Structure formats: structure tokens, C-alpha cells
């Protein structure tokens, strides 16, 4: 725990701003289907369906820190730079959250595993904890540059401007066909969202805070 706290301090201490809660206690500053997302007295958010909860506010560059807890076979994600939430699949950037220990996801490409730029670039290493344990993630998005830390480990860094093709990634791997827009052409400003109960597997979030840059 001391190492994790030191690492997160190192990530965030170079920024002069202050962190604020991304969502209000009653989620009044969020957009989501009524009744799907809840926030309990301890501040833990979860969803009963596969629906995304979005900020009403748009964000450009930021530092986002949060805690999440996977269930068995969780497949979720953090979305940002979402310029069109009706077409979020193509019009946002996703950092993947997943239960990497599940047989359901073990055989998927690395770009489907926790900490990945989903469908585009895999995480450098596995740092996610077992289902039922809380994880801490920090995402630093500064224009096209994005860095992801998971449990005190830097697991990904990518430059959106390198991803100029909708079909092929810079390493030559194929992009999932539903990701039909090149990330390099996406606006670097938009809403932030969190995916709900995808594939029947739960996901839990708490302590979601943001610092605008």
C-alpha cells in the first residue's frame, strides 16, 4: 500500500491543481438511464444493466483517479473525449477494465485486457487485482498523450496522433471492425463515462476524482 501511495503521489504531484469529485452524491450531474446506476452511502457506484454513466460536463486535458472492483469476468471501461455519447463506440477513447484472470478474457487479444487502449494497444503488464479486491487507476490525458497507471504501475502510454487508421493499429494489428473511426481524428475534448454491467458481470466504482489541466 505504501508503494502504491508513493507511486500515485509521483504521478499527480507535478500538477498544481486540485482534485474534485467527478459526480455529485446524488448523481445529479450525470447522464444515465433512470434507475440503472446507483450510489450507496459509502459512495460505491454500480449498475444493474450494460449502460454507461456520463458526465454532463465536457473535459479536455485532465488527471482522473478512481477505484474499481471487478466481479467474476467483468468487462468494463473508462471512456473519455466522448464528443457524441449516442455514438460513443466510435466517438470516444476507452481505457479497458477487465477481469484478466477470467477464462472468458484470457484468450482475447492483449488490447482487450485491463489497462489497454481498447482494441488499439495492450497494457504493458498485468497489474489488476483478483475479483473482489479494490484497484486504483490513474489516467492522465493531455491532448493526444495518454498515460495509464494501475495499482501504482504504469501499464500504458499512447499518443492518439499515432493511430491514423480505422482498420490497422501502429503495430500492424487489426482494429475491431466496430471501431470505425481513427483515434487521431477524434476531438480531444468531451464527456467522461463508465461502463456498467456488461455481459452480466458486475463492476463497482468509488472515489472518482478529476483534476483539470
Q: What pLDDT is recorded for position 137? A: 99
Q: What is the pLDDT of residues 152-172, one digit of tens each?
A: 999 999 999 999 999 999 999
Rounded to 5 degrees, what are φ and ψ at 123? -70, 150
Instruction: Give residue 6's pLDDT.
Output: 43
Give the domain extent around 196: 2-212
What pLDDT sits at residue 12? 55
Would you state the pLDDT for residue 14?
57
- How buried is 160 (Cβ within 10 angstroms: 0-12 exposed, 13-18 middle, 19+ buried)? buried
The three cell numbers of residue 46 are: 454500480
To 5 degrees, how large is the angle CA 140–CA 141–CA 142?
115
CATH number of the domain to which 167 belongs: 2.60.120.560
**How many separate domains does the chain show?**
1
Given a cut of 50, the residues of the chain with pLDDT beneath it are 1-7
Residue appearing with cell numbers 477481469: 99
Cα–Cα distance, 84 to 67 (Å, whole number):
25
- pLDDT for the residue 16: 60
Amino acid at each position: 500500500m505504501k508503494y502504491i501511495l508513493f507511486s500515485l503521489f509521483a504521478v499527480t504531484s507535478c500538477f498544481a491543481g486540485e482534485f474534485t469529485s467527478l459526480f455529485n452524491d446524488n448523481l445529479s450531474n450525470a447522464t444515465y438511464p433512470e434507475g440503472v446506476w446507483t450510489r450507496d452511502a459509502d459512495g460505491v457506484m454500480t449498475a444493474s444493466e450494460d449502460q454507461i454513466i456520463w458526465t454532463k460536463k465536457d473535459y479536455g486535458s485532465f488527471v482522473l483517479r478512481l477505484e474499481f472492483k471487478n466481479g467474476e469476468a467483468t468487462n468494463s471501461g473508462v471512456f473519455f473525449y466522448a464528443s457524441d455519447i449516442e455514438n460513443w463506440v466510435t466517438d470516444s477513447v476507452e481505457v479497458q477494465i477487465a477481469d484478466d484472470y477470467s477464462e472468458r478474457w484470457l484468450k482475447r487479444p492483449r488490447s482487450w485486457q485491463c489497462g489497454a487502449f481498447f482494441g488499439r494497444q495492450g497494457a504493458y503488464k498485468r497489474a489488476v487485482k483478483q475479483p473482489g479486491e479494490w484497484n486504483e487507476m490513474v489516467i492522465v490525458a493531455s491532448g493526444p498523450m495518454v498515460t495509464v497507471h494501475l495499482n501504482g504501475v504504469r501499464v500504458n502510454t499512447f499518443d492518439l496522433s499515432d493511430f491514423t487508421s480505422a482498420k490497422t493499429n501502429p503495430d500492424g494489428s487489426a482494429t475491431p471492425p466496430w471501431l470505425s473511426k481513427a483515434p487521431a481524428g477524434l476531438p480531444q475534448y468531451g464527456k467522461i463515462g463508465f461502463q456498467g454491467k456488461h455481459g452480466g458481470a458486475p463492476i463497482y466504482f468509488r472515489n472518482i476524482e478529476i483534476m483539470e489541466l
